[in-house]
Structure 1
Amino acid sequence: MGGFIEIEAEDGERFRAYKAVPAAGHGPAIILLPEIFGINAHIRDVADFYAEEGYVVLAPDLFWRLERDVELGYEGADREKALDLMKRFDLDQGVRDIGATVAAARAMPEVAGPDGGKAVGAVGFCLGGRLAYLAAAGCGVDAAVGYYGGGIEKLLDEADRIACPLTLHFGGADRISPPEVIEKIRAAFAGRPDIEVFVYPQAGHAFNRPGPHFDKPAALMAHSRSIAMLRKAMGPHYDLSALWDKHCEYEFATRDVDATMSTMVAEPYVNHIPTMTGGYGYKQLHRFYSNHFVHGNPTDTRLIPISRTVGADRVVDEMLFCFTHDREIDWMLPGIPPTGKYVEIPLIAIINFRGDKLYNEHIYWDQASVLVQIGVLKPDGLPVAGVESARKLVDPALPSNTLMARWTESDGR
């Protein structure tokens, strides 16, 4: 998605930065501050990832005054070289080079923000996490995010200079920033609701980087929190509810597979949790939609909305899914011939977006209740409800605890 450009430093010399631009061609800017391994393939992937989220991304070559064009791996001689570069790195000069990158971003015609302004934020990892903190204090950015930034506790004299929203992420098992260090940082910002410190208990250092340290749940949660803050501080803002409605229209009303796929990122995925049906990647998902979903739903399929929650990067829909089992439904009841039975089932859809495109869908329902309603599972002696679960969702006054034999024992207690 991107390529290298040159940035002019304060002394007139030039250094390179990787630049990635969103599909829209414009957006707020993010200065992406790398780990000690330089602008390697992983950092370029992260830049492209944030471009998908709607940002113009600049990842500057921070080590250029020591050695230009550093791109290192994570083991052996590359790791030793990276550690040596970090020891010799001039932190103050690095901050000034970040300031030059911020100025370059503000001068770019592609960079925009709310109300026509030039919004620029910083996101950094490891050494870059520390530098994102310092950028918030001294580079005039509009927002900053730091992942496992070691050494921030030694720079808390800069805390009063931070006037923008700041989000810091730490692994609870990070030996570089142990719990007492994180608490020191948290205490320094007590009473500052615009500055958030999040800890992921099982994660270690570098939990966002693919490899042995990668912790996917922590990485996913941290990214959602980062996007929520960045969107609030500097955009871009998308109507995720309307985007999801349009996707559903293509799926269930017009039943147009290509139009459905056009609402999604280049490599999306869908997972129907109870039956593990769906698809991972464009080719597999297109096959699934074409042959097993969009044209395979019952004639009288209805979605009845119950509630909707819209976040910065996802929509959560609670609904009733209603249908007559008039055909084999590959995605919900694979291998079961049509029974002609009518079904109403509560269903939860969690839809994650990247920018203005759907990235994934996680769909949940109670499969046992579906099987009871079509008559292939006998509920006798099992804690399983049929259509009653759907009806109680709509009418909470209907009886509770009907499957709990011991409920009568607590009467009067």
Structure 2
Amino acid sequence: MGTSIEIRAQDGSGSFQGYLAVPASGSGPGIVLLQEIFGINDTIRGIADYYAEEGYVVLAPDLFWRQEAGVELGYNADDWHKAFGFYQAFDQDLGVEDIDATVQALRARPECSGAVGALGFCLGARLAYLTACRCDVDVAVGYYGMGIENHLDEAVNIGGRLVLHFAENDEFCPAAARLDIYGALQGRDNTELYLYSGVDHAFARPACEHYHKPSALMAHQRSVTAFRNAIGPHYDLSALWDKHCEYEFSTRNVEATMATMVAEPYVNHIPTLTGGVGATELFRFYQHHFVDSNPADTQLLPVSRTIGATQIVDEVLFSFTHDREIDWLLPGIAPTGKRVEIPLVAIVKFRGDKLYHEHIYWDQASVLVQIGVLDPQGLPVAGRETAAKLLDETLASNGLMASWARSANAEGCTHE
């Protein structure tokens, strides 16, 4: 996706290269992406492309250029040895000057809307912190930085927002260092500090043995939220989701549905393991097993909607008549003609102004009870009552609990 551009050093000593990734829209706020000790390799370019999908103009400068231009290392033993050699010889102060030159170069780009943040990993996380202290950026985010505790006296100079992600088991930023950092930074209005339990350094790098997907996803959501709040861009996620649902359930247009999504999206209907991963599989799923599999009287009644910076959580009442085989919901079960009403939750993730994925949850036992293929007698399951109580919280609770009646007169059960 990206291209290489030239950046002029501020001290007049020459110029260096930067990897530039631009969003599909052609413009957006800027992010200066700060490398690990392995140079501008596939990992860093991939992160740049990823954040370009999120709507940012990303510029990753070659910070080792004063030693050797174009350093690009992998993660085998020999490359680790070379990477630490570059790290040990790195002039940090000149490096921050080069980052400042990159910030100015990015702001001058016609694609950049003007607002600029910084994002760094490993060595780049410490540099992101120092960038927040020494450069004019609106927000800086760092993942598993090392050595930040040695520069806490500079925190008084931070004008923008600072977000730092720490790994609990990180030998390069051990507990003692984190305590110093937390002691100096925690409680500041413009600072967010997050600790990820049980994970190690580089937990957000997919190519690493320490990669921990749940922590990486949570950290990414927090990072993008910080960027959105500080520099934008701001999208109407509610309208985008409504349009997607219109194409799915009203106009039933598969091409239009796919056009609302990123190039490689996925959908996961959790209870039935149905959906699709990637454009080809998801198109097949929508075309042959979803859009036209839904009964004509299908209705989605919104109950609540929570809108974040990167995702929407919808709580809806989903109802239909089981007048056909519904591949995604009741695969292999012949039509029963029964009416079904269930609470349903959709967690919808976006990248930029496109849907990235959908995680859809519902109580499959309630569906099976309502179509008559599961006898609820003696089981802790309910039928249409789950939908009714969603709309009327005053309906009886705890009817499935035999012990509920016995606790009525138990000591301490009355609240005063």
**1:83 paired residue number:** 84
Which residue number in structure 1 is paired with residue 413 of structure 2? none
Q: Does 1:187 align with 2:169?
A: no
| 2:145 paired with 1:144 | no
- 1:181-260 map, 5 Å: 181-210=177-206, 211-260=208-257
5+ long unaligned stretches in structure 1: 113-117
1:163 equivalent in structure 2:
159
Partner of 1:55: 56
SS of equivalent residue, structure 2 residue 39:
coil
Mapping 1:360-375, distance limit 5 Å:
360-375=357-372
SS of 1:119's equivalent in the other structure is strand
Question: How far apart are 1:233 and its partner, in Å?
Answer: 0.4
Residues 313-365 of structure 1, C-alpha deviations (whole Å, 9 max, x = no match)? 00000001100000000001000000000000000000000000000000000
Provide the residue aligned with 2:336 in structure 1.
339
Equivalences for residues 293-332 of structure 1 within 5 A: 293-332=290-329
Is contact 2:34–2:118 with CA below 8 Å preserved after alignment? yes
CA distance in 2, matches of 1:181, 1:327: 61
Distance in 2, Cα, partners of 1:59 & 1:67:
16
Q: Is the aligned partner of 1:377 residue 2:378? A: no
Q: How far 1:213 moved relative to its partner?
A: 1.2
* Percent of aligned positions that are identical: 64
Q: What displacement does 1:178 show?
A: 2.0
Amino acid corresponding to residue 348 of structure 2 in structure 1: I
1:11 deviates by 2.7
Distance 1:383 1:193 in 2: 47
How far apart in 2 are the matches of 1:183 and 1:258?
53
* Counterpart residue number, 1:291: 288
1: CA distance, partners of 2:309 / 2:61 = 27
Shift in Å, 1:397: 0.1
Contact preservation (8 Å) 2:186, 2:192: no
Question: 1:342 and 1:177 mapped to 2: Cα distance?
Answer: 58
Please give the secondary structure, in 2, of the residue aligned with 1:100.
Answer: helix
Cα deviation for residue 176 of structure 1 reads 1.4
CA distance in 1, matches of 2:105, 2:390: 54
Cα distance in 1, alignment partners of residues 79 and 172 from structure 2: 20
Amino acid at match of 2:101: A
Cα deviations by residue, 1:129-188 (Å, 9 ceiling, x for unpaired): 000000000011110000001010111011111111000001111121122322221121
> 1:349-405 CA deviation, whole Å, 9 max, x = no partner?
000000000000000000000000000000011000000011001000000000001
Counterpart residue number, 2:3: 3
2:265 to 249, 264, 268: 268
Partner Cα distance (1:271, 1:190) in 2: 38
3-state SS of paired residue (1:345): strand
The Cα RMSD (Å) is: 0.7
Cα distance in 2 for residues equivalent to 1:193 and 1:10: 32
SS at match of 2:309: coil
2 CA distance for matches of 1:295 and 1:186? 54
Match of 1:32 in 2: 33
SS in 2 for 1:5: strand
* Deviation for aligned residue 1:190: 3.3
CA apart distance, 1:193: 2.1
For residues 370 and 181 of structure 1, the distance between their equivalents in structure 2, rounded to whole angstroms, comes to 52
Secondary structure of residue in 2 paired with 1:289: helix
Which whole-Å CA distance do the structure 2 matches of 1:286 and 1:202 have between them? 38
Look up the SS of the partner of 2:112 in the other structure.
coil
Structure 1 residue matching 2:396: 3-state secondary structure: coil
Cα deviation for residue 104 of structure 1 reads 0.3
SS in 1 for 2:262: strand
**Residue type of the partner of 1:149?**
G
118, 122, 134: which one aligns with 2:118: 122
Task: Provide the residue aligned with 1:66 in structure 2.
Answer: 67
The one-letter code sitting in structure 1 at the alignment partner of 2:132 is A
- The aligned residue for residue 115 of structure 1 is none
> Contact (CA 8 Å) 2:254, 2:291: kept in 1 or not?
yes
Matched, 1:111 2:117: no
Whichever residue aligns with residue 181 of structure 1, its letter is: A
- The residue number in structure 1 matching 2:383 is 386
Q: Does 1:401 align with 2:398?
A: yes
Task: Kindly provide the amino acid, as one letter, of the partner of residue 26 in structure 1.
Answer: S
- Using the size of structure 1 for normalisation, the TM-score is 0.98
The corresponding residue for 2:414 is none
Return the offset for 1:191.
Answer: 3.1
Measured in 1, the distance between the counterparts of 2:79 and 2:392 equals 63
1:206-251 Cα distance to aligned partner (Å, 9 max, x none): 0111120111001000000011111000000000000000000000
Length-normalised TM-score, structure 2: 0.97
User: How many angstroms apart in 1 are the aligned matches of 2:253 and 2:405?
Assistant: 52
Asked if residue 98 in structure 1 is aligned to residue 99 in structure 2, the reply is: yes
SS in 2 for 1:295: helix
Structure 1 letter corresponding to 2:78: A
Name the aligned partner's letter for residue 9 of structure 1: A
* Structure 2: runs of 5 or more not aligned: 411-416
Matches of 1:85 and 1:48, distance apart in 2:
25
Q: 1:412 Cα shift? A: 2.3
- Structure 2 SS opposite 1:177: coil
**Distance in 1 between the 2:349 and 2:336 partners?**
34
Partner Cα separation in structure 1 for residue 57 and residue 162 of structure 2: 19
Moved >3 Å (runs of 4+): none
